[in-house]
Every structure is written in C-alpha cells, then in structure tokens.
Amino acid sequence: MRLLGKHIVLGVTGSIAAYKAAYLLRGLVKEGAEVQVVMTPAAKEFITPVTMSALSGKPVASEFFSANDGTWHSHVDMGQWADLMLIAPATAATLGKMARGICDNLLITTYLSSKSAVMIAPAMDLDMFRHPANLANLAILRSYGNLIIEPGEGALASGLHGKGRMEEPENIIEEVIKFFGQKKKLLNKHFLVTAGPTYEKIDPVRFIGNYSSGKMGYAIADQLAESGAKVTLVSGPVNIKAGRSEITVIPVESANEMYEQCLRVFPETDGAVMCAAVADFTPEDYSGSKIKRGEDDLTIHLKPTSDIAGTLGQVKSEKQLLVGFALETNDELVNAYSKLKRKGLDFIVLNSMNDSGAGFGVDTNKITMIDKDNNQSVFELKSKTEVAADIVARIISEIEHKSGS
Ligand code: C5P
C-alpha cells in the first residue's frame, strides 16, 4: 500500500487507450490511493462511467451540473482536494485545451483550479504525436511545470507502428509512487537558496546588474518545498513570486546584502543552493546625488564583492551540502570543476551559454552536474521546473549519503 491516504484526481479523455484507465485506476486503488475520476464527454464513448465508479467507489465527475437536480459539481473543490492530478490517457485535443486554458469541460476546469502537481500520459497516433502543434502544446505544458509521462513506441490501434502509445498502467503507477516518495524525503530539512541578480548602486538612479530572472532559483526553492523542506530564499530583485508557504523570501538588492543574509541563515540549514547571479564587482564609491553628464569620460572604479558560495564553503560542516552554479562561455567543464574545488562545493550545476534555450530569462535549461570526483552527468534541454526536479533528486541522494541512510 504505497499510496495510502493519497488523493488522486484521475482525468480520462476520449482515446482508445481509455480502457487502460480502468487498469490504472484499479492499481492506484490497490496501492491505497483514494481516486476521484473525471471523464470528458468523449471518454464516455470509450469506457463507461459505471466501470470507473465501481472501481473507484465514487461517482464519476463529468458534467458541470447534475441533469436531474441541477447540482453544481465543484471543480475547485476537486482541484484543492487532490495531492496529484493524473490525466491518462490525454488526447491531443485535451493537451491543446490544457495548454491554452480552454475550459469547455469539467476536466479542463479542474486542471486549471488544481493546486497539486499534474502528471500527463499522452496517447495518440504517431503522426498526431509528432505534429508540431502537439509538440508545441507539450512544451507549453512542461513549461507550466506539468510532468509528462512520455508515450512508448509500438503497435498503435490505427494499425500503424510508432511513438504515441500511452505508457502501460503499471509503469504509470510506479511514476506516481516515485513522485510521492520523492516528496517526503526532505521533511524537517532546511535549505538556503539564493536567486536572481544583484544590483550594485552607482548613484540613486543607476546600478550595475545582470539579466538573471531568478526563475531557476525559484524553481529549485519550489521543488525543495515540494519534497517537504523548509526553504529560506535570499532573492535579488526579480519579477516573480514564491507561491508556497514553506518558502520564506528575504529580498535583498546588493551582493553585500546577500552575503550578510546568507552568512546569518546558513548555520541553521542542512545545505545551500547558490543559484544567484551575484555581481563579482561593485562600485568603490557611491554617489549620493545623480552623476551629471560632463565633457570628460567617466571612470567608475570597481572593487571585488565577497564570494558568498566560497565563504559558505569555508564555514560549512561535514553534514551540510553546498551546491553552486556555473555559467561559462569557454572551457566549460574545466572551469566549472575548478570553481567547485575553489569554493568547496559538493556539486556544481553547469549551464552553458553555448546551448540555445539555456541560461538567463528563458524557461528552459540544459545542465551538466559535476561532483567532487569530476563525475559528469549530462541532462537534456528541459523546463526549469524539470531541471529543478533533477537537481533536487540529486540533493536528496547526497543528503541521504551524508546522513548514512
Ligand atoms: O565565480 P562565479 O561567479 O562564476 O561562481 C558562480 C557560483 O558562485 C554561483 O553558484 C553563484 O551563485 C556563486 N557566487 C556567490 N557569490 C559571488 C559570486 C558567485 O555565491 N560573489
């Protein structure tokens, strides 16, 4: 009973693979999950609500209102109740509506109201699957943080052969179990995360900054919280907000302010993830009034800032984990590894400026994780949420290793 007490909303859409949703439901219930099934109108053409309600022990939700007494079925309540929303099988039409927020059935409204993680198992013919429209919708859904269970290759109901078969129910159940297992692993742990740029003031209206959006650091804070950790997020000026109660944001502006807050918080933590793009230099002098245009060149003298990660590397205990980031333009692997050594990091996440879709501002990232022994793990281009999940999975295994479990 590996899913005891878990609340799962199972969304079923109009695909031939809908019959497999019955096996999926049976398996989830056997593992102890409480499952509320939501079916699209088309799904009911493939499998009856009677089957699904008998297997789940609950009436199937499908319409906004009951035909006989006009009772409203609250998608909001279902969305709040769920620990996980699983949509299997998900047709191309449903993926498109989810990507664009077209709420013409109860399943899509439940999806938009859902506060929980969402897992999607697409099922369709190979040509539909590889159509650019469908691939673009999947990319959008990934960028929202949804977890996609890739369809398998094989015989399709159309008689064709290719990628599009819904993943087998037993494998989907394993993914669900893995998701919930991951979730609890950082309970009672506290992490410090830095994110965003720093602003180094020149005068009251000017500063030296950089293009960091903070998205990667905020995604890591989210994933740590999702895994049960308490997070202190020391953030430079960004336009995003942390949405979870487990995350305490300490807003700062300059590298020096970030340094002070990190040194204060770090001793109470189990580790830190240094994701901020901290300025390496700051103006030597601050002009209290706006610097006026003149005929002569203007020279601003810069002095180095303190290396926050490097300082934490010196004070950290054996039990604490320190993770850094490196953004390199040349000799990436060599530079990243020497940075890891210099700063006393446990592992470093290298994102290359040479990969399109990776780095500042964008929603995707492509990383390589390098550890103290120079072992390198190369990852695909993924959404920052998925990259954060990979980093947190690594943090979990390192923390388990440190505590000897
Ligand atoms: O040396 P570099 O700035 O490339 O190192 C990047 C790593 O060091 C990142 O993890 C970044 O957050 C951290 N860093 C820091 N304090 C600085 C500069 C960088 O914590 N002053």
pLDDT digit string, tens, across residues 358-404: 666 677 888 999 999 999 999 988 888 889 999 999 999 999 888 87
The answer to whether the CB of 92 is under 6 A from ligand 1 is no
Answer whether 194 contacts ligand 1 (Cβ < 6 A): yes
Decide: 21 and 92 in contact? Cβ < 8 Å: no
* Tens digits of residue pLDDT in 285-329: 999 999 999 889 999 999 999 999 999 999 999 999 999 999 888
Give yes or no for residue 307 CB within 6 A of ligand 1. Answer: yes
Contact 227, 184 (CB under 8 A): yes
Strand partners, 36: 9
Those residues with Cβ within 8 angstroms of residue 21's Cβ, 6 or more apart along the chain or in another chain:
10, 12, 37, 43, 47, 52, 88, 89, 169
Could you check whether 7-183 and 190-403 share the same CATH topology? yes
Quote the percentage of the chain above a pLDDT of 70: 97
pLDDT of residue 279: 97
| Predicted TM-score of the model (pTM) | 0.66
CATH fold of 7-183: Rossmann fold (3.40.50)
For residue 126, the CA-to-ligand 1 centroid distance in Å is 45
- Cβ of 258 closer than 6 Å to ligand 1, yes or no, is no
What average pLDDT score do residues 11-30 get? 97
Note the pLDDT tens digit of each residue in 125-138: 999 999 999 999 99
- So what's the pLDDT on residue 359? 66
d(CA 375, CA 372): 7
- Ligand 1 center from residue 276 Cα (angstroms): 7
Which atom of ligand 1 is the closest one to the Cα of 194? 12
324 pocket-lining for ligand 1 (C-beta < 6 Å): yes
Average pLDDT over residues 70-91: 86
CA angle 252, 256, 258 (to 5 degrees): 40
CB 253 within 8 A of CB 215: no
Confidence of residue 283 (pLDDT cuts 50, 70, 90): very high
Q: State if residue 309 touches ligand 1 by the CB under 6 angstroms criterion.
A: yes
Q: Tell me the two tokens of residue 114.
A: 């859902």
pLDDT at 72 over 90: no
3-state helix, strand, coil in the chain (%, to 5): 35, 25, 40
What whole-number distance in Å separates Cα of residue 32 and Cα of residue 38?
19
To test the pocket of ligand 1, the residue of 233, 262, 278, 331 to mutate (highest count of ligand atoms within 8 Å of its CB) is 278
91 Cβ inside 6 Å of ligand 1: no
What are the domain boundaries of the chain?
7-183, 190-403
Q: Give the whole-angstrom CA distance, residue 194 versus residue 308.
A: 10
Tracing tokens 């019959």 back to the chain, one arrives at 19
Query: How many whole angstroms from 277 Cα to the centroid of ligand 1?
Result: 6
| CA–CA separation, 18 and 32 (whole Å) | 22
Residue pair 21/10 in contact by the 8 Å Cβ criterion? yes
Cα atoms found within 13 Å of the Cα of residue 178, Cβ hemisphere only: 11
| Phi, then psi, of 180 in degrees rounded to 5 | -70, -30
pLDDT of residue 361: 65
- Work out the mean pLDDT of the chain and round it to a whole number: 92
Does the beta carbon of 255 sit less than 6 angstroms from any atom of ligand 1?
yes
Q: Whose CA is closest to atom 1 on ligand 1?
A: 339
Is the pLDDT confidence value at 405 over 60?
no
Mean pLDDT, rounded, for 6-23 = 97
Confirm or reject: Cβ of 273 under 6 Å from ligand 1.
Answer: no
The phi and psi torsions of 274 (rounded to 5 degrees) equal -95, 90
**Residue 354 pLDDT > 90:** no
CA of 187 to the centre of ligand 1 (A): 28
How far is the centre of ligand 1, averaged over its atoms, from the C-alpha of 325 (Å)? Answer: 7
Q: Is the CB of 305 under 6 A from ligand 1?
A: yes
147-148, strands of its sheet edge to edge: 34-39, 7-12, 84-90, 117-122, 147-148
The residue whose CA has the least distance to atom 4 of ligand 1 is: 326
Q: Distance (Å, rounded) from C-alpha 98 to C-alpha 117?
A: 14
Terminal Cα-to-Cα distance of the chain (whole angstroms): 22
CATH number of 190-403: 3.40.50.10300
Q: Distance from the CA of 246 to the center of ligand 1, in angstroms?
A: 25
Rounded distance, CA 371 to CA 366, Å? 17
Per-residue pLDDT, averaged over 159-184, amounts to 89
Q: Could you give the residue ranges of the DSSP H alpha helices within 144-230? A: 169-184, 215-226
pLDDT attached to residue 191: 98
Higher pLDDT, 234 or 142: 234
Query: Ligand 1, residues 307, 322, 346: which to mutate, most atoms within 8 A of Cβ?
Result: 307
Residue 351 among the catalytic residues: no
pLDDT at 355 over 80: no
> Ligand 1 centre and the CA of 326: distance in Å?
7
User: What three-state secondary structure class fits 361?
Assistant: coil
> Which string of b and e fits 57-75 if b means at least 16 CB within 10 Å?
eeebbbeeeeeeeeeebbb
How would DSSP label each residue in 94-161? HHHHHHHT---SHHHHHHHH--SEEEEEE---HHHHHSHHHHHHHHHHHHTTPEE-PPEEEE-TTS-E
Say which of 146, 171, 188, 210 is annotated catalytic. 210
Tens digits of residue pLDDT in 209-253: 999 999 999 999 999 998 889 999 999 999 999 977 889 999 999
For residue 332, give both structure tokens: 């990436």
At residue 105 the predicted structure's pLDDT band, cuts being 50, 70 and 90, is very high
What is the model's pLDDT at position 168?
95
Q: Sort residue 284 into left (φ over 0), alpha (ψ -120 to 50) or beta.
A: alpha
CA distance 308 to 302: 18
- Ligand 1: residue whose CA is nearest its atom 9: 325
Distance between CA atoms of residues 56 and 28, nearest Å: 9
